[in-house]
């Protein structure tokens, strides 16, 4: 998985001859330019969907940043340095290392690692944030993490047969890409060395998920047309292919799936225009300060995920519609949604009317999901054909993905998306002015490419949520 890999820059890198390994895979396999990600289009939710084959309403990992109503806690798995220091590095570390996999990821769903383990098959996870499996792994605890009480010396996690997680769990004892300035092993060189080690040792398991994170940072900074990260990822793939007698042999011995996780959208270069500060939009209310616990007087909590945000209403006197109308005044906001009973309502920052929907009805979408819908379908760019067929436009699989967000966790909240060109900011949140960002329901944030070699089987639908079942089918061949 190459973080933020997108079709256009990939095609550009291939055309210019700067991605020979990816070109080799495309020439010898199948290429799907428009796979549909989960929602919000943020890594932890996407990874959870990939591993469980479910959307957030079942796997229960709502986003990178959210509010836990049960525990009255603001949760972040680490979105930006400023936010991490406001919350406390120790807290963020424990959320992402332990709570995410052990508590937040639902025990009512099984990861692909758990299912393969139940079948007596081995799997590997290299540098993925979501990794739950059946095997207990003792962590390697560096002295500085122990001294500052980040980890106990005997800390362990449940992961797959082969578990690699930066400096904390390394497969190759000679892997040297774990220095502090190398992100403690969370880099593509490290991940490549780990998979290379398994190839050299002839220990490649039935399924390996390897996460290349470097491209995402480059796209965030330089924009959607940046190809440098793709070129570097291609060199890593070349290193892996070169461990075989020939590249053809690499393809013959394995099924290769190279995929992105979501797209990104260009952000305006004018800071004042590009950044939608929800604290200003909702300035009449007492908004929770993330550096401390929830206070009695707090009325609103903001769960900012770049181009998407949860807006939690702690004050019971606040009404969804009233808050939605205030948000609607900012024309940079794309869609605003909330739940009334079983019905979800959506309004737009610039289109008139209200659209409402709920599961199970006479309208069927291209994925075979049935819906009851009412109101202005153009708000979510939905077209109705033949009287009952739903066709999605700018928001792929919009109804299932948006609905999943409202059932991913409990609470009284609205879900808002920014229009292309803009992103939400709050206290300590990251900004990508003049670069690119993701998180929203829009197709620019949603579509990612996938290359497959070595199997004729295809996913049921071209969505991230269908990948797990497809991989299990490939392993059954």
pLDDT at 182 over 90: no
Confidence of residue 177 (pLDDT cuts 50, 70, 90): confident
Classified as helix, coil or strand, 166 is coil
Residue 477's pLDDT is what?
85
Burial of 152 (0-12, 13-18, 19+ CB in 10 A): exposed
Percentage, residues of the chain above pLDDT 70 = 98
Residue 178's pLDDT is what?
79
Same domain, 314 and 395: yes
Instruction: Give me the torsion for CA of 215, 218, 222, 227, rounded to 10°.
Output: -40
Q: Does some domain include residue 82?
A: no
Residue 143's pLDDT is what?
75
Q: Does some domain include residue 396?
A: yes
Cβ atoms of 457 and 470 closer than 8 Å: yes
In degrees and rounded to multiples of 5, residue 145 shows phi and psi of -75, -35
- Count other C-beta atoms under 10 Å from residue 183's C-beta: 17
In the numeric block, which tokens belong to residue 247? 């590249």
Residue 185's pLDDT is what?
82
Same domain, 129 and 152: yes
Q: Does some domain include residue 32?
A: yes
Higher pLDDT, 149 or 100: 100
Confidence of residue 262 (pLDDT cuts 50, 70, 90): very high
In the numeric block, which tokens belong to residue 202? 């002839």
Cβ atoms of 133 and 125 closer than 8 Å: yes
Same domain, 211 and 305: no
| Per-residue model confidence as pLDDT tens digits over 108-151 | 999 999 999 999 999 999 999 999 999 999 998 777 777 667 77
- The span from the CA of 176 to the CA of 351, in Å, is 54
Same domain, 330 and 235: no
Same domain, 342 and 407: yes
Same domain, 424 and 446: no
Cβ atoms of 36 and 447 closer than 8 Å: yes
| Per-residue model confidence as pLDDT tens digits over 390-442 | 999 999 999 999 999 999 999 999 999 999 999 999 887 889 999 999 999 99
Lowest mean pLDDT among 212-226, 300-314, 402-416, 425-439: 425-439
Helix (H) or strand (E) segment spanning residue 114: helix 112-118
- The span from the CA of 308 to the CA of 148, in Å, is 34
Confidence of residue 87 (pLDDT cuts 50, 70, 90): confident
Q: Does some domain include residue 86?
A: no
Residue 85's pLDDT is what?
66
- The span from the CA of 450 to the CA of 459, in Å, is 11
Q: Does some domain include residue 457?
A: yes
- The span from the CA of 32 to the CA of 376, in Å, is 31
Instruction: Give me the torsion for CA of 260, 265, 266, 267, rounded to 10°.
Output: -130
Same domain, 380 and 452: no
Q: Does some domain include residue 92?
A: no
In the numeric block, which tokens belong to residue 437? 């960002």
Work out the end-to-end distance of the chain between its first and last CA atoms, rounded to an integer number of angstroms: 23
Q: Where are the alpha helices (DSSP H) in 332-431?
A: 398-406
| Per-residue model confidence as pLDDT tens digits over 348-364 | 998 899 999 999 999 99
Same domain, 212 and 358: no
- The span from the CA of 11 to the CA of 33, in Å, is 10
Average pLDDT value over all residues in the chain: 95
Determine the average pLDDT of the residues in 338-345.
97
Domain housing 423: 271-434
pLDDT at 456 over 80: yes
Lowest mean pLDDT among 144-148, 163-167, 377-381, 401-405: 144-148
Same domain, 381 and 237: no
Same domain, 455 and 407: no
Determine the average pLDDT of the residues in 338-342.
96
Question: What is the domain count for the chain?
Answer: 2
- The span from the CA of 378 to the CA of 380, in Å, is 5
Confidence of residue 183 (pLDDT cuts 50, 70, 90): confident
Same domain, 368 and 460: no
CATH number, domain with residue 184: 3.40.720.10
Residue 148's pLDDT is what?
67
- The span from the CA of 72 to the CA of 66, in Å, is 11
pLDDT at 333 over 80: yes
Determine the average pLDDT of the residues in 10-35.
98
Q: Does some domain include residue 42?
A: yes
**DSSP labels, 413-437:** EEEEEEPTB-EEE-SS----TTSEE
Helix (H) or strand (E) segment spanning residue 452: strand 447-453
Same domain, 155 and 247: yes
Q: Does some domain include residue 97?
A: no
pLDDT at 382 over 90: yes
Determine the average pLDDT of the residues in 55-71.
97
Q: Which residues pair with 421 in a beta bridge?
A: 267
């Amino acid at each position: 998985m190459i973080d933020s890999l997108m079709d256009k820059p990939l095609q550009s890198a291939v055309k210019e001859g700067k991605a020979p390994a990816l070109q080799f895979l495309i020439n010898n396999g199948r290429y799907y330019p428009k796979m549909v990600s989960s929602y919000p289009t943020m890594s932890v939710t996407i990874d959870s969907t990939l591993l469980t084959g479910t959307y957030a309403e079942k796997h229960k990992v709502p986003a990178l940043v959210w509010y836990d109503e049960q525990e009255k806690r603001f949760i972040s798995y680490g979105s930006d340095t400023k936010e991490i220091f406001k919350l406390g590095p120790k807290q963020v570390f424990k959320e992402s290392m332990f709570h995410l996999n052990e508590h937040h990821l639902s025990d009512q769903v099984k990861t692909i690692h758990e299912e393969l383990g139940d079948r007596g098959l081995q799997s590997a996870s290299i540098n993925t944030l979501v990794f739950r499996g059946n095997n207990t792994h003792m962590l390697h605890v560096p002295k500085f993490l122990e001294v500052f009480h980040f980890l106990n010396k005997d800390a362990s996690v449940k992961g797959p047969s082969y578990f690699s997680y930066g400096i904390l769990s390394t497969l190759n004892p000679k892997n040297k890409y774990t220095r502090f300035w190398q992100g403690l092993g969370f880099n593509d060189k490290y991940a490549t060395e780990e998979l290379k080690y398994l190839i050299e040792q002839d220990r490649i398991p039935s399924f390996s998920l390897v996460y290349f994170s470097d491209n995402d940072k480059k796209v965030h900074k330089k924009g959607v047309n940046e190809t440098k990260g793709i070129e570097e990822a291609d060199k890593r793939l070349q290193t892996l292919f070169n461990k075989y007698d020939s590249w053809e042999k690499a393809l013959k011995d394995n099924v290769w799936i190279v995929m992105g996780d979501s797209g990104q959208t260009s952000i305006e270069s004018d800071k004042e225009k590009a950044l939608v500060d929800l604290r200003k939009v909702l300035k009449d209310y007492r908004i929770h300060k993330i550096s401390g616990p929830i206070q009695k007087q707090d009325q609103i909590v903001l769960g900012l995920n770049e181009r998407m945000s949860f807006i939690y209403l702690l004050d019971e006197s606040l009404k969804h519609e009233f808050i939605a109308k205030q948000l609607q005044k900012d024309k940079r906001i794309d869609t605003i949604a909330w739940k009334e009973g079983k019905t979800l309502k959506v309004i737009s920052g610039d289109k008139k009317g209200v659209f409402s929907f709920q599961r199970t009805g006479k309208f069927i979408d291209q994925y075979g999901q049935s819906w009851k819908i009412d109101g202005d379908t153009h708000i979510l760019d939905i077209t109705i054909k033949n009287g009952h067929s739903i066709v999605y436009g700018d928001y792929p699989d919009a109804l299932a993905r948006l609905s999943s967000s409202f059932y991913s966790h409990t609470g009284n909240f609205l879900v808002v998306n920014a229009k292309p060109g803009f992103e939400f900011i709050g206290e300590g949140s990251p900004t990508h002015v003049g670069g690119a960002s993701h998180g929203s329901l829009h197709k620019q944030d949603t579509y990612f490419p996938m290359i497959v070699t070595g199997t004729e089987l295809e996913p049921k639908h071209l969505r991230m949520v269908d990948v797990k079942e497809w991989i299990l089918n490939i392993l059954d061949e």
